[in-house]
Amino acid sequence: MRFVEKKRSLRDMKKHARESRQYAHYVEGQPEGSKSTHLMATYEADEKYFVAPTITTTKEGYETQSFEQAKEAGELYEFDSAEEAEKFAAGSWKKGKDLRKAMREYRRQKRKK
């Protein structure tokens, strides 16, 4: 079974992730004062690795989003390795200061393991 119709380039996936959400909100369990448009999670299926947002945002707030809902919304990102998927889920799709902050946190978390 194939989850993604056509695999997108990393550049296209990053652009899609940045442009797919308009609203940012505080999400319970995240650092105080932070606002999120995506909280990404990694999944493994069919010997492939996937990343999908676990929340969806609207003008009013956010709701949880399942793997299937992310797939239906076209927000499922496919990777060849677990490391690529983990980096993307951690925020490698972001730009500028947000990217640097996300990757610093990703490296800190990897060192803890």
Chain segment 63-93, per-residue pLDDT in tens: 889 999 999 989 999 999 999 999 999 999 9
Per-residue pLDDT at 34: 77
- Beta strands 40-45 and 48-53, pairing class: antiparallel
Phi, psi of 58 (to 5 degrees): -130, 180
**96 HSE (CA, 13 A, CB side):** 2
Per-residue pLDDT at 1: 40
Return the structure tokens found at 1. 């079974």
Block mean pLDDT (10 aa), the chain, length 113: 65 89 78 80 92 88 90 92 95 93 92 83
List, in sequence order, every beta strand (DSSP E) within the chain: 40-45, 48-53, 55-57, 62-64, 77-79
Per-residue pLDDT at 3: 53
Return the structure tokens found at 51. 């990343």
Domain boundaries, the chain: 10-112
